[in-house]
Structures are given as C-alpha cells and as structure tokens.
Amino acid sequence: MARQPDGPPPPPTVQKLRLRYAKRGPLRFASHRDLARALERALRRAQVPMAFSAGFSPHPKISYVGAAPTGAASEAEYLEIGLARRCDPEQVRAALDASLPAGVDVLECVEAAEGGGSLADRIDAARWRVELPGVEPGVLAAAVDALLARDEVLVAKRTKNGLRDVDARGPVASASTGGEAGCAILHVVVRQVTPAVRPDDVVAALAAVADLRPPSPPRAVREAQGRLDGSGTVADPLGPDREARARCQGEHAAV
C-alpha cells in the first residue's frame, strides 16, 4: 500500500480568486521563477489563507497563466489562487500589493465564477506595445507593410530543444505603427502558438523582410491578454467573473 502522510488532510478550497498584476521598471528583468517566489512570499506576509495540495510536499494552490518573457514589462499578468477561507477580494488585493516589491503591482482581484471555465481557456492572444528607439515611424510603417504582405516569415528561435525556425508572421493577427521622430512604436496583437512568438520574434521578422535593425534594444510592454474576437479586440479575461458576480448581487438584491 502507498504510504499516506501523517496528520489530517489540508482544508479544502472554498474560494478561488483571480488576480491581474503588472511588472514594471527593473522588475521586467526578473524571471518568471523569481516572480513566482516573490508572490508566494508576499502571500505569506499578507496572511492570505491559502489552500494547499495534499501529499508529502504540500504546495499552495497557485496557477500562473501566460507569463511574459524575461525583459518584457507587462500590465496583464494573471494568476489564480485557492483559499481555505473566504475573503474579500479587494482586501486580498490590497494586502498582497502592499507585501510585494515596488514594480510588481496587483491591479485587480475578482472571485472566480462557478462553472465559468478555466482562466487559461479565456486567453489565446496578447496585445503588445514595442518601442523602437532610433527608428523613424515611417521606416517602421514600411517594414510592417512588408511583413503583413507575407504569408510566412521564418525566424530562428531558441527553444529548449535548441535553435529552430518558426513562422513569426502567421500568429500576427494585426499590427499598426505610431510614435515620434527618433522612436517608432509598434502595436501588435499576437495569437498564442507553440512555441510562443514573442515581440523579439516579430522584430526579427521585420529585419528579415525589410532589414529593419533598431540601433537600441526594443522595449516591449504587454498591454493585454485575452481571447481574440472577430473585431480583432483582445477581450478582458476577468470580465465574465465580474459579470457573474454582478448578476449574483442583483439577484440577491431583488429577493
């Protein structure tokens, strides 16, 4: 027979909360593993009553969704936590935000709606803003037009299995440009694929089709994650939970 850990089983999960947080400034260079450690320490400091997995090595019930790559800032990082005791989502948000280092900011916390599906199922695309210092907006616009005119653009990407060629054009759902003299800005919506196509892959594709090579490293910020609708908009993945909560409160008020 398999051995069982001594003592009572951990308390069950009675509430799931979904959080959106940002990583800004120097913290964009922190790896996902470093951020995960910081978040777990902050949850302990904030005394959030976490639910834990069973077994000999219990872990707090935390699920991360679509972490941004190291070096990219983000306004749309998501995680889900399971609690052993019901809490007010806004109080959890404030306590956790106060316990995290500057540059990691908890922007929103909502209760997961029952039967609403997983958070990961609501995310299949991301919207990015990429600053290109030293590039003129007109030069970028011409390069983007050249990229969008292609059906496929292969770029070399380092994966866990080594370098491989990936199509950096296919996942690009839309792209537009802006900025000012001396600093062009690329706005791009990229679908989730495997392996993931990141902003640096899109910039590599621009180099491949138009020889666009920024003299300074691009600065990428993920502005949103969610499901891509027919109009090209990236939907808010926490919207269904907010709507379900509002309906529930309306029904209780009507009774």
Segment 41-54 mean pLDDT:
94
Comparing 41-45, 65-69, 109-113, 164-168, the range with the smallest average pLDDT is 65-69
Distance CA 59, CA 11 (A): 13
Token pair in block for residue 157: 């990407």
Backbone angles phi and psi of 54, in degrees to 5? -85, 175
Look at the chain and count its residues. 255
| CB-CB neighbours of 55 under 10 Å | 11
pLDDT at 250 over 70: no
Cβ-based neighbours of 235, under 8 Å, separated by 6 or more: 122, 226, 227, 228, 229
pLDDT at 1 over 60: no
Backbone angles phi and psi of 195, in degrees to 5? -70, 155
Confidence of residue 248 (pLDDT cuts 50, 70, 90): low
Domains of the chain are: 15-118 (3.30.70.580), 123-226 (3.30.70)
Q: 127-152, pLDDT tens digit by residue? A: 999 999 999 999 999 999 999 999 99
Read off the pTM.
0.89
